[in-house]
Structure 1
Amino acid sequence: MNPGDRVRVERGGVANEGVLMPSTTADHLVVKLPGGYNVGIDRADATVDVLERDAHDVAGAGAGEGDSSTIEFDDDLPTVSLISTGGTIASTVDYRTGAVTAQFDAEDVLRAVPDLAGRANYRGRVVANILSENMTPAVWQDLAAAIYEEIEAGADGVVVMHGTDTMQYTASALSFMLDTPVPVVFTGSQRSADRPSSDNVMNAVCAVEAATADRAEVLLCMHGSSSDDACALHRATRVRKNHTSRRDAFETVGAKPIGEVEYESETVSFRRDGPERGETDLSIAPDLETSVELVKFTPGMNPAALDYLDDAAGVVIEGTGLGHVATDWIDRIEELVEGGTTVAMTSQCLEGRVCDRVYDTGRDLLDAGVVEAGDTLPETATAKLMWVLANRSAPAAAMGESLVGELQPRSVPWT
């Protein structure tokens, strides 16, 4: 028997049927079940029947140093650059070592998601291979440079594969750093490829379809519902991950998603206007001021919590309601502003907008020099403040302006 054979393994009165996978130990068999999960079985006292030879092409099973494959270029198809930063969607198991890795090229992606074949010509590129909680502004800058280079080299669209936990931060940061004439689409996966409920195939396919659409901005493409019917397209600066594990974890805050991709019909549609393909000249402004902190105010919180921010260039506060903190915070905030720190106020409520002109506390905060960030999401405001501090002569004023759709002019019922 060899990896790729369909086998039936019996041990201890339990039978498992599936595809034999390479094993990292001599004492165990690894069988991929029809539902997608792998099961490890102790070889001792196990009986194995081979049901079908070479029933499955096992990715990574036979690859060796010097092996190569090519993808024939089709002049009639657009070219999409697939860029990986790590995360579940870009991870595959190397069964020779048992390790999970995101070191892939275009051939690896097509082997893992064969549904992508025939939709575009692909180029694969790895910018980082990290868990998304380890994402940093330095990687944002590397990613911006990579996307710029891919578009400059002729890519008709870019798909960024990213871990979902911090994808909203990266996508919003790239919105400020890049002016793009083609779609830049972030996508990820809530559930790994070996799970029957994995969302990686549909998200990847829909992201590629969006990357070839007539749009030119940074988008985020993920399941629009718990079903496999359509992916939602979110503006990168207005989206938030609002569930830990659901496939439709991402939501546009304060509005409906700006568009969607129907999976079966491969139809991309937009419900709101936006920059069209080719309308914007490619440019990059990658500088960031990384000395920026996001602080969440809680009742009774000691204003001394701000003491470590004396040297910060910027602070984003998640205040209560319309954008408030306790009265005993105000003097400390004023000291920060007078020391040169830009302090922007957002709300923990997410829906609605900051307005510090209603109550005395809000008016005192404005007198202390706090900048209202309107309905900008706290995570987006953090990335924005990093960018405007490095690229705008009047960063405080810029925090009150909508630069790339992060701040809606009005809070109205969803449209």
Structure 2
Amino acid sequence: MLPEIVVLGTGGTISAVADARGRNGAGLSAGEIVTGAGALDEIAVIRSGDVRRIPGRAMTPQDMHDIALRVGAEVAAGCSGVVITHGTDTIEETVYALALMLDVPVPVVMTGAMRLPADPGHDGGANLRTAVVAATRRDLAAFGPLLAFGDELHLARWVTKQHTSRPAAFASPETGPAGVVVEGRVLMNAPPADSDHLGLPDSLGGTRVELVWIYAGADGALIEAAAERADGIVVAGTGGGHTPPSVAEAIGAVVAGGTPVVVASRCAAGPTLHDTYGGPGGEAHLRGLGAVHAGRLPALKARLRLQVALALGRDVREVFPR
């Protein structure tokens, strides 16, 4: 008996349809995407539905929360796995948001496309097939939500979009892919890692976390502006998690005022440091001011982790351990 896999559509390039001027936007339903992929019924019994039909750039944390709710409902209804199609602009964020909010006993696999459905060599069908194959492997649930792209499977924590337009757009700089799909078989490279799961809040719509990118010559103006509206701030610091002295001063004032600040690195890979550099803006100084460092978590994902943690009422230091 074949497993039942639910394919949920949210939009993106994999669903794109051109308008009269030849400009593409989300249009195809999940069912149409499944039909276009062909021969998936040899792998699983496919059931499809749509959660959104929007471009990846329009995705919000509340949309991600709604996707998590829908996944939970499909799992409760008895499916064997869930595949989610999504725009690639923000897919690395959504897959990590789901890792934070979902703890389900079946595989959850996200995928998308870099080439338009009408283009020669459209990759959406092949990526969807890879995702469905992975979703039939019940043991992959232990890895948390995965991203399937170009026959590779990536962990939510590490995967990032590294190129704007190439089909091989995704990579995990810290670890490489967690697995591959070859000849219809899943081959994993390592055992499951620690879970990123925090819990499913009632909503993410009422919790705002801003991301401030640090550059040479930055001052505290953006930190101060963010603190006026945000419930928390993530700083993408230089190197091992550093800021200019004036930014550090602003961080200290913001933390003292009750707004949590998490410092990540703007680098593509590597952890924030703990006790190597002193002086204003060094990691030891920022820690002394009350900032929390993100460790190996990239800034985009640290922002989501802080947002979910605050929405759950969790202690920030607890969810960003050293």
Question: Is the pair's TM-score, using the shorter chain for normalization, greater than 0.5?
Answer: yes
**Matched letter for residue 171 of structure 2:** E
Question: What is the CA–CA distance in structure 1 between the aligned matches of 2:71 and 2:174, rounded to whole Å?
Answer: 29
Q: CA deviation at 1:104?
A: 2.2
Q: CA deviation at 1:105?
A: 5.2
Q: Give the secondary structure class of the aligned counterpart of 1:363.
A: helix
Q: Give the secondary structure class of the aligned counterpart of 2:92.
A: helix
Q: CA deviation at 1:325?
A: 0.5
Does the 8 Å contact 2:26/2:54 carry over to 1? no
Question: What is the CA–CA distance in structure 1 between the aligned matches of 2:313 and 2:207, rounded to whole Å?
Answer: 15
**Which deviates the most, 388-397 or 309-318?**
388-397
CA 1:193–1:398 in structure 2 vs 1: closer, same or farther (change >3 Å)? same
**Aligned residue in 2 for 1:303:** 220
Give 1 or 2: higher strand fraction.
1
Q: How does 1:304-343 map to 2 (within 5 A)?
A: 304-311=221-228, 312-343=230-261
Q: CA deviation at 1:218?
A: 0.2
Question: What is the CA–CA distance in structure 1 between the aligned matches of 2:160 and 2:312, rounded to whole Å?
Answer: 25
**Matched letter for residue 306 of structure 2:** L
How many residues in Structure 1 have an aligned counterpart in Structure 2?
Answer: 307
Question: What is the CA–CA distance in structure 2 between the aligned matches of 1:304 and 1:94, rounded to whole Å?
Answer: 42
Question: What is the CA–CA distance in structure 2 between the aligned matches of 1:118 and 1:110, rounded to whole Å?
Answer: 13
**Aligned residue in 2 for 1:247:** 167
**Matched letter for residue 255 of structure 1:** T
**Which deviates the most, 299-308 or 208-217?**
299-308
**Which deviates the most, 349-358 or 123-132?**
349-358
Question: What is the CA–CA distance in structure 1 between the aligned matches of 2:15 and 2:30, rounded to whole Å?
Answer: 10
Which protein, 1 or 2, shows the higher relative CO under an 8 Å CA cutoff with sep ≥ 6? 2
Question: What is the CA–CA distance in structure 2 between the aligned matches of 1:122 and 1:218, rounded to whole Å?
Answer: 19
Question: What is the CA–CA distance in structure 2 between the aligned matches of 1:138 and 1:256, rounded to whole Å?
Answer: 30
Q: CA deviation at 1:113?
A: 1.3
Q: CA deviation at 1:117?
A: 2.8
Does the 8 Å contact 1:105/1:123 carry over to 2? no
**Which deviates the most, 208-217 or 286-295?**
286-295
Q: CA deviation at 1:160?
A: 0.4
Question: What is the CA–CA distance in structure 1 between the aligned matches of 2:122 and 2:97, rounded to whole Å?
Answer: 27
**Aligned residue in 1 for 2:294:** 373
Q: Give the secondary structure class of the aligned counterpart of 1:221.
A: strand
**Aligned residue in 2 for 1:187:** 111
**Matched letter for residue 47 of structure 2:** R
Query: Is 1:274 aligned to 2:195, yes or no?
Result: no
Query: Is 1:145 aligned to 2:77, yes or no?
Result: no
Q: Give the secondary structure class of the aligned counterpart of 1:336.
A: helix
Question: What is the CA–CA distance in structure 1 between the aligned matches of 2:157 and 2:45, rounded to whole Å?
Answer: 29
Percent sequence identity is 34
TM-score of the two chains, using structure 1 as the length reference: 0.70
Question: What is the CA–CA distance in structure 2 between the aligned matches of 1:142 and 1:198, rounded to whole Å?
Answer: 28
Question: What is the CA–CA distance in structure 2 between the aligned matches of 1:391 and 1:83, rounded to whole Å?
Answer: 26
Q: Give the secondary structure class of the aligned counterpart of 2:152.
A: strand
Structure showing greater radius of gyration is 1
**Aligned residue in 2 for 1:221:** 148
Q: Give the secondary structure class of the aligned counterpart of 2:175.
A: coil
Question: What is the CA–CA distance in structure 1 between the aligned matches of 2:101 and 2:290, rounded to whole Å?
Answer: 27
TM-score of the two chains, using structure 2 as the length reference: 0.90
**Matched letter for residue 259 of structure 1:** G
Q: Which runs of no fewer than 5 residues in structure 2 stay unpaired?
A: 194-198
Q: CA deviation at 1:395?
A: 1.7
Q: In the TM superposition, what whole-angstrom CA distance separates every residue of 1:19-42 from its partner, at most 9, and x where no partner exists?
A: xxxxxxxxxxxxxxxxxxxxxxxx
CA 1:309–1:99 in structure 2 vs 1: closer, same or farther (change >3 Å)? closer
